[in-house]
Structure 1
Amino acid sequence: MYLSGQPSRPMSVKRIVQLQYRNIVDAAAASLAGVKAPPEGWLRTVRTALGMSGADVAKAMGVTRARVTTAERAELTGGITLKSMQATAEAMGCRFVYAIIPASGDVEDLIAAQARKKAAAIVDAASKHMALEDQQLPDDKIAQQVDRLARELALEMPPNFWRDP
């Protein structure tokens, strides 16, 4: 395999693996793009949709009704554990699924934004030094350099890529 637009350069195993992981994240992001947690939380929403009472769920779990109420409230505050979400979902005959997806767009968008941020900082620093020597580039040339460097950084992703400049 070769990097797109560069047929003379074979892809490394690391790059192939990274692209496979990107595909997984992007597929999840595409599937979940419009999904938002309901205001009452998933546990209460699903329980209500199924027509189950808190007592029904508690009995299926072998816990008290108060524990189900506590779990539903904890979900709303972010204090519930994954284990509790899974157990409650299973008691309702459901499957608990969680995902971490890019806030907007896909993995490539996040990488491009970080590359642009780093490139802008690098070019800005170089421009300041050039200005001190009265060799400042025009704005359009600076923009070109930022674009070029951002593409390069996104492709290479050096070890300090995610560290702020």
Structure 2
Amino acid sequence: MTVSRAKQRQAESKINQVTQMAQTFTKPLGGWIATFQEAIGMSVPALAERLGVSRNSVYSSIQNEQAGTISLNQLDKMAEAMGGKLVYAIIPREGQVEEIVMAQARKKARRIIQRTRAHMALEEQTEGLRSQEEMVEELAGEIAREMPRDFWK
């Protein structure tokens, strides 16, 4: 196994592990700042004092988080001021990393096989071919293992 493939496997494993953990929680209705603040019993004035900002600035950050416009840096500062830490991840919407890779490999394999079958049909060489889906699955597996440079094109 190549070094890049080993690194990819380690990254896949990490993402899949985080994906399983992330399925147990969802963003609270009021956002994480307000929820953590409530959990530890810290008032907005106390948080503002720790951050060295105005109360309005804290309220703005809470609103920005709810609107999805807060920066990771700002969210990290808020967490630190409350004695917490920011944790974030990019995970698959559904399933595991391998499923994303295989879906892309299948797209690529379908294009290759459709093009090949079209050429074979022109030359009247289609008799005895396996089904297109069987061929797609076989080729997709090879493509996913190899991951050529143009994989995501």
SS in 1 for 2:131: helix
Q: How far does residue 33 in structure 1 lie from its aligned partner after superposition?
A: 2.0
**How many residues end up aligned between the 2 structures?**
153
Q: Distance in 2 between matches of 1:32 and 1:137?
A: 49
Q: Distance in 1 between matches of 2:30 and 2:43?
A: 15
Instruction: Give the CA RMSD over aligned residues.
Output: 1.8
In terms of fraction of residues, the more strand-rich structure is 1
Q: Is the 8 A contact 1:127 1:137 kept in 2?
A: no
Residue 3 of structure 2: which of 3, 9, 13 is its match? Answer: 13
Residue 23 of structure 2: which of 27, 33, 49 is its match? Answer: 33
Q: How far does residue 72 in structure 1 lie from its aligned partner after superposition?
A: 0.8
Letter in 1 for 2:33: L
Q: How far does residue 89 in structure 1 lie from its aligned partner after superposition?
A: 0.7
Q: How far does residue 34 in structure 1 lie from its aligned partner after superposition?
A: 2.8
Identity of aligned residues (%): 39
User: What does residue 113 of structure 1 align with?
Assistant: 103
Q: Distance in 1 between matches of 2:104 and 2:127?
A: 23
Q: Distance in 2 between matches of 1:152 and 1:24?
A: 23
Relative to structure 1, the CA distance from residue 138 to residue 80 in structure 2 (aligned partners, 3 Å threshold; closer, same or farther) is farther
The alignment's TM-score, normalised by the length of structure 2, stands at: 0.90
Q: Is the 8 A contact 1:115 1:151 kept in 2?
A: yes
* Alignment of structure 1 residues 84-95 onto 2, 5 Å: 84-95=74-85
What 5-or-longer segments of structure 2 have no aligned partner? Answer: none
Greater shift, 22-31 or 57-66, is seen at: 22-31
Residue 149 of structure 1: which of 139, 143, 152 is its match? Answer: 139
Relative to structure 1, the CA distance from residue 146 to residue 57 in structure 2 (aligned partners, 3 Å threshold; closer, same or farther) is same
Q: Distance in 1 between matches of 2:149 and 2:134?
A: 24
Q: Distance in 2 between matches of 1:138 and 1:40?
A: 61
Whether 2:32 is the aligned partner of 1:42: answer: yes
Letter in 1 for 2:32: W
Relative to structure 1, the CA distance from residue 137 to residue 25 in structure 2 (aligned partners, 3 Å threshold; closer, same or farther) is farther
Q: How far does residue 77 in structure 1 lie from its aligned partner after superposition?
A: 2.0
User: What does residue 75 of structure 1 align with?
Assistant: 65
What 5-or-longer segments of structure 1 have no aligned partner? Answer: 1-10
Q: Is the 8 A contact 1:112 1:154 kept in 2?
A: yes
The alignment's TM-score, normalised by the length of structure 1, stands at: 0.84
Q: How far does residue 138 in structure 1 lie from its aligned partner after superposition?
A: 7.6
Q: How far does residue 145 in structure 1 lie from its aligned partner after superposition?
A: 0.7
Higher relative contact order (CA 8 A, sep 6+): 2
Q: Is the 8 A contact 1:29 1:101 kept in 2?
A: yes
Query: Residues 116-143 of structure 1, C-alpha deviation per residue, up to 9 Å, x if partnerless?
Result: 1111122122223333444446895211
